[in-house]
Amino acid sequence: MKRDRIFILKFFLLFIIFIPSLVSAKKTIPEEEDSFALNGKGVEAYSSGEFDKARKNFFEGLKVATLYLDPITSAILVNNIACTDLKETYSPLESEDTIRSVYSSLITYDQPALAVIALNNLAVLDLRGGRLDSAIEKFKKVEQYQGTHLNLRGEGIALNNLAICYRKKGQFDKAILSVNKAISIFESEPYENGLANAYYNKGMIYLDQKNPEIAIGFFTLALKYDKKSGDKFNLDKTRDAINTCKKMMGGKSLSE
């Protein structure tokens, strides 16, 4: 359990670093619940593509969680900081090491619902690193856990990620099956950001098969949900995909 010892050591180092700064600031001591609120704000900013703002909130939340010696919330926030760093700097090895440490610690503290979040993030790192079989194995575990515990949104996200893996492997039938299941789940909630991602992914499945006429319909649906969710990063990505389809079909690019 070397990683657990490393995480615990880091946790108490954070305590030593953060407490003097909180005391010297001569501000009201934050409530323990503030760490949850700050994490929520960070997640909201992250979902909107505001990664600097997200990291700031996660880091402030970590200060509070450290103040109250809360290893579970600290682990969640460290995980979120690592994922945000990955978005900003793309340093996968450093982020992967941090998330693996968090995952191991959450298992140790018997927090499977939180550990599965870290496992999903490790699967995303596998996906980005081209380790598709490893990613599929992890995403299947995430899907199974979330489905068993009736976390429909988490199950849908895992299914959509599985579809991406299958698409990259050229297994388009499996990809369509997975993404359709994800869309069905997201429609039942409804979950606009999830629908945007799933329809984008479905469009990519057809675009990879050189079928822009079908792909553009799904990208258009994705754009509709991108606008509703306000995800700036996804908006640009979807517009680029629509433009690619239009160029392949000999039409004009999307100007708006």
**Whether the predicted pLDDT of 1 surpasses 60:** no
In percent, the amount of the chain with pLDDT more than 70 equals 81
- Closest by alpha carbon to 77, among 112, 105, 48, 108? 105
Per the model's pLDDT, the better-predicted residue between 230 and 8 turns out to be 230
The answer to whether 173 and 179 have CB atoms below 8 angstroms apart is: no
**Whether the predicted pLDDT of 141 surpasses 80:** yes
**Whether the predicted pLDDT of 239 surpasses 90:** yes
- Closest by alpha carbon to 46, among 81, 1, 95? 81
Give pTM, 2 decimals: 0.71
Dump the DSSP string for 162-198.
HHHHHHHTT-HHHHHHHHHHHHHHHHHTT-HHHHHHH
- How far apart CA 125 and CA 34 sit, in angstroms, is 29
- Closest by alpha carbon to 163, among 177, 183, 143, 142? 177
Give Cα separations from 138 to 68, 202, 233 (angstroms). 32, 21, 26
Q: How many CA atoms lie within 13 A of 48 on its CB side?
A: 13
Residue ranges of domains in the chain, CATH in brackets: 1-129 (1.25.40), 139-256 (1.25.40.10)
Retrieve residue 53's tokens.
């703002």
Tens-digit pLDDT profile for residues 108-136:
878 888 788 888 888 888 888 899 999 99
- How far apart CA 247 and CA 1 sit, in angstroms, is 54
The answer to whether 94 and 85 have CB atoms below 8 angstroms apart is: yes
Tens-digit pLDDT profile for residues 191-220:
999 999 999 999 999 999 999 999 999 999
Could you give the residue ranges of the DSSP H alpha helices within the chain? 2-24, 34-47, 51-67, 71-89, 92-108, 112-128, 132-148, 152-168, 172-188, 192-208, 212-229, 232-248
